[in-house]
Amino acid sequence: MTEIVHVGLEGRAYDIHIGPGLLDRAGALISPLLRRPRVVIISDENVAGLHLETLRKGLEKNGITSEALVLPPGESTKSWRYLEQAVEWLLDQKVERNDVVLAFGGGVIGDLVGFAAAILRRGVRFVQVPTSLLAQVDSSVGGKTGINAPQGKNLIGAFHQPSLVLADTEVLGTLTTRDFLAGYGEVVKYGMLGDSVFFQWLEGNASCAASGDMAARIHAVKRSVEMKAAIVMRDETEQGDRALLNLGHTFCHALEAATGYSDRLLHGEGVAIGCALAFELSARMGLCSQEDPSRVRAHLRDMKMKVDLSDIQGELPDADGLIALMGQDKKVVDGKLRFILARGIGEAFITSDVDPDLVRAVLSDALRARG
């Protein structure tokens, strides 16, 4: 039942394995990378409590010993403080240039540990073992690693591709519904940005995936990863096409900043709302038909996801306040905001040519609908 997606970057190629039971088979899958039968694992308390023993047993089956560092869960772990702790621990463990570090957790752990691996001894190899849906379909693939700065998210980091990704879809069974659906925000994004057939498949099958159907989960993760891999192969360092992966993110980052990067809005929830707003803006610019944003919103509603600004609890800034927050985003180029818009479902493109008054109108209407 395992699917494999190959990321064919020259000199840095790797496979992404997708399927159930991969923690149990981790030893067999990681062995070919090792010069000595030993790995170090960095995880967080939640993931370690649920799954570390299974992973270690899976490694032991192939005679691989392991040491583990367990960090606190949550976005605040993506910081200088925990980067320092991780790097010093890796040095204490006498990790050598030829050793392999395992990042075992969601996006926070993957980004932090990938960055630690990038800078340790000027770069050691690492394996991503993503445990959240968001990490499996997005952050574990493509080599973006890093930590947050007080000035903003992901502002310190490096491109460092993993040597292998093991996306165990069985582990998704321990996610809360909210976390699963937040990750689903990134899945549906792939359909919206580049594959209308996948979007249509999701309209018919995503609820089965959400309620545990393994074949549907594997297909959803595989198609997402295939699309991400193809984009990363074209544009590893985001000089062009890779920015398509940011569909919905210009709005999302403003909403995340407005809600203090808190539980009020998870990243994937912000992506879903951001995609709905990006389609609304596209329709108002006459780029796509009015049916497209309606279809996007209907599907997100069917999935019981956050869709509108009214689904965000508490105060939000006004439209100008949100636009100001967008201006602090990494997607500002030469002082101009860059948007990912769409000519239809599956037909996204990148543009800086957007009338700010129209953005303001879309946001004002969305805020007004909150009542």
Q: How far apart are CA 11 and CA 8, in angstroms?
A: 9
Nearer to ligand GLY, 223 or 242 (CB): 242
Whose tokens are 């439209």? That residue is 319
Comparison of 271 and 296: residue with beta carbon closer to ligand GLY: 271
144 binds ligand GLY (CB under 6 A): yes
State the binding string over 120-139 for ligand GLY (x if CB under 6 A, else -).
------------------x-
Q: Which residues contact 206 (CB under 8 A, 6 or more apart)?
A: 184, 187, 188, 216, 220, 299, 303
Q: Which of 110, 130, 142, 268 binds ligand GLY (CB under 6 A)?
A: 142
Segment 221 to 250, residues that bind ligand GLY, using CB under 6 A: 242, 245
> Total residues at the site for ligand GLY (CB under 6 A)?
5
State the nearest-atom distance from the C-beta of 31 to ligand GLY, in Å: 28
153 contacts ligand GLY (rule: CB under 6 A): no
Task: Give, in degrees to the nearest 5, the angle at Cα 252 between 247 and 256.
Answer: 155
Q: Which is nearer to ligand GLY, 245 or 342 (CB)?
A: 245
Quote the CA–CA distance of 242 and 235 in Å, as a whole number.
6
**Which residue, among 169, 215, 136, has the nearest Cα to 24 in the 3D structure?**
169
Shortest distance, position 186 Cβ to ligand GLY, whole Å: 8
256 binds ligand GLY (CB under 6 A): no
Report d(CA 39, CA 77) in Å as an integer: 22
H or E, element range at 6: strand 3-7
Helix, strand, or coil (residue 188): helix
Interacting residues with ligand GLY (CB under 6 A): 138, 142, 144, 242, 245
